[in-house]
A and B are shown apart, each in its own frame.
Chain A
């Protein structure tokens, strides 16, 4: 069974602060993919990143960075110099590399509010 835990239900920061969203996962699979999605107030989930379990290098994309640590089963997401437009719900998700295409397990999400 797979499980994704996002313990931070809500986070508020002031614009330009850095913020880290935590994601901890459980899986019996040795190979898997991890994802982050953003859900702005409009409702549509926007794909941000996919990471496979073979690659533990941190990834940076503009103000976004991701820290994958297999030893602690964590895939944390950091936004540097946050902006009001970053306000959204962020979901972490997990999928095995083999098996059914349905097996995408989402966490419960973290509501991020960036205050001006």
Chain B
């Protein structure tokens, strides 16, 4: 089945550690996105990539890093510089043209203590 997978579903880390969230898609989409969602709030864009080997900062990129070495994969690293990393992280993809819907993965809930 075509779709987006994110792993793991739940992730626990100690403060000061970097952690990488996985996102893979087999929809043949050019564009991929990372969003952060905090309780009771909407989605905020962290990073997006419209093509392999290229990515752009979103609205809240500080403390995060990404790579796009393959079309199918867009991993997100939450670094120790991110002050409030505990959140729900959603990965999405789209065909990359403006105005087209984005399709979302199941999300990763990260808890940092």
Q: A residues bordering B, Cβ < 8 Å?
A: 9, 32-33, 35, 37, 42-47, 50, 52, 91, 95-104, 106-109
CB < 8 Å neighbour of B99 from A32, A42, A108: A32
Contacting pair A50 B101 (CB below 8 A) = yes
In the bound complex, residues from chain B placing their C-beta under 8 Å from that of A99 are 98
The residues of A that contact B74 with a CB separation of less than 8 Å are: none
Show the binding face of B for A, using Cβ within 8 Å.
Answer: 31, 33, 40-43, 45, 48, 50, 56, 58, 88, 90, 92, 94, 96-107, 109
Give the distance in Å from the alpha carbon of A45 to the alpha carbon of B99 in the complex: 17
Inter-chain CA distance A100–B106, complex, in Å, is: 25
The answer, among B33, B48, B106, for a CB contact under 8 Å with A44, is B106
Closest-CB distance, A106 to chain B (whole angstroms): 5
Across-interface contacts of B48 in A (CB, < 8 A): 101-102
Complex A-B: 6 CB contacts under 8 Å: A35-B101, A43-B106, A45-B43, A45-B90, A47-B104, A101-B31
Chain A residues within 8 Å of B106, by CB: 42-44
Bound complex: CA A101 to CA B97 (Å): 5
Question: Could you tell me if A101 and B50 are in contact, using CB atoms closer than 8 angstroms?
Answer: yes
CA gap between A44 and B4 in the complex, in Å: 10
Task: Decide if A108 touches B103 in the complex (CB within 8 Å).
Answer: no
Contact of B107 among A32, A33, A43, A97 (CB under 8 A): A43
In the complex, what residues of B have CB within 8 A of residue A9's CB?
40
CB-based nearest B residue for A46: B104
Q: In the complex the two chains form, what is the Cα distance from A73 to B63 in whole Å?
A: 36
